[in-house]
Every structure is written in structure tokens, then in C-alpha cells.
Amino acid sequence: MNNDRQPANRQPQIILITGNMAAGKSTVAQSLAERLPKSVHLRGDIFRRAIVNGQAEMTLNLSAEAYQQLELRYRLAAMVARQYLQAGFTVVYQDIIIGPTLAEVVASFYDVFLSVIVLCPRAEVVAARDAARSKTGYANQAIVDAFDRILRTETPHIGYWLDSSNLTVEETVDRILANL
């Protein structure tokens, strides 16, 4: 664990890292949490994976059931993040929260200190990262492009937007820490 670049006087907070699939959220969030002195890496997707039967498919065009499950996932993650924060932890909460929903999720944290980080590597970088993973989230380049369009044109410009296309994980975390 490398805490040498983290100021000791930083107050616990919730750091929301969002972006599209394969943007690097999980890797960056884990690395960031490892650099903080008392921290939690909260993966929002854990609440989707906890559903054993009846899990709705998360696709570009969400069904009513998928949308309800996504909202539940965000509410559960917010509740857990608050509990960790109240216990004195900085919470690095990572999930895919794009489009107008980002403003709604951010508003739900109205009473706590929240930093929002939007990872926005170029679509071709996302496609290459997705192809290199064991789990793939995109069926084809058209889906990558559609999600990229939603991120860039429908997602409110809240927080710190970081194009990590040409950055290492460590460089990305350095920039996040410098911009909290």
C-alpha cells in the first residue's frame, strides 16, 4: 500500500468515480483507495451481482425492471457509503452513473462532502480496453460509440472530468488527488 502522496490532514469524504464500462473505474478506484490512509473501495456493481434470480439485463436501452434495479443499486450504494463515511472512512465509490442520472445520484449526497470524478477516455481506448478484458461489456463498436455519446452529450458536467486515454493508473490517481 502506497500512502506517501496522500496528505494526512484530508477529511473523510465520498469520492464517486464514474464513467463508461472499461473506462478504468475499478482499477483506478482500487489504486486511489490504496493511497488513502483509511479508505474503502465500494463497487456499486456488487449490489447487481447480489441478485441471484430475477436480475434484469443492463443494456443500452433499459427495461422498466432494469431501471428499477439500477435505482435500487444506487440507493444501496449511497446508504453503504454513508455508513462507512460515518465510521470515519473515505469511501471511493465506483459505478457506471451516466446521463441525467448522475445529477440525481449526486443530489442524494446533499448533506456530505462528495467529490465526483468522471473518467472519460476516448471511445477507441474504451473499446481496446474492453477487448483486452476477460469480461466484455460491449457487443460491438456501435454500442461503445452510443455509450460514449451518452457520456459526452447527456451527462451533466459535474465534478472533475479526466480523459485518462494516455495516462497510467498511477498518473490518473495522481491527477485525481491533485484535483479533489
* CATH code: domain of residue 120: 3.40.50.300
Residues 6 or more apart whose Cβ sits within 8 Å of residue 171: none
Is residue 8 domain-resident?
Answer: no
Query: Across the chain, what does the average pLDDT equal?
Result: 92
The DSSP call for residue 59 is -
Is residue 90 domain-resident?
Answer: yes
Residue identified by cell 452529450 is: 153
Is residue 169 domain-resident?
Answer: yes
Judge contact between 21 and 130, C-beta under 8 A: yes
Is residue 101 domain-resident?
Answer: yes
Structure confidence by residue, pLDDT tens digits, 74-101: 999 999 999 999 999 999 999 999 999 9
Q: Which three cell numbers stand for residue 147?
A: 455509450
As a whole number of angstroms, the distance between CA 32 and CA 10 comes to 14
- Domain containing 161 equals 14-179
Residue 10: predicted pLDDT:
74
Alpha helices in 8-158 (DSSP H): 25-35, 46-49, 64-86, 101-107, 123-132, 141-149
Is residue 4 domain-resident?
Answer: no
pLDDT-derived band at 180 (thresholds 50, 70, 90) equals confident
Is residue 76 domain-resident?
Answer: yes
> In 3-state terms, the chain is what percent helix, strand and coil (to 5)?
45, 15, 40
- What pTM was estimated for this model as a whole? 0.91
Tell me the three state secondary structure of residue 39.
strand
Is residue 2 domain-resident?
Answer: no
Q: How many domains does the chain have?
A: 1
Structure confidence by residue, pLDDT tens digits, 135-172: 777 888 999 999 999 999 999 999 999 999 999 999 99
As a whole number of angstroms, the distance between CA 111 and CA 53 comes to 35
- Look at residues 77, 26, 25 and name the one whose alpha carbon lies nearest to residue 50: 77
Residues 6 or more apart whose Cβ sits within 8 Å of residue 50: none
Is residue 61 domain-resident?
Answer: yes
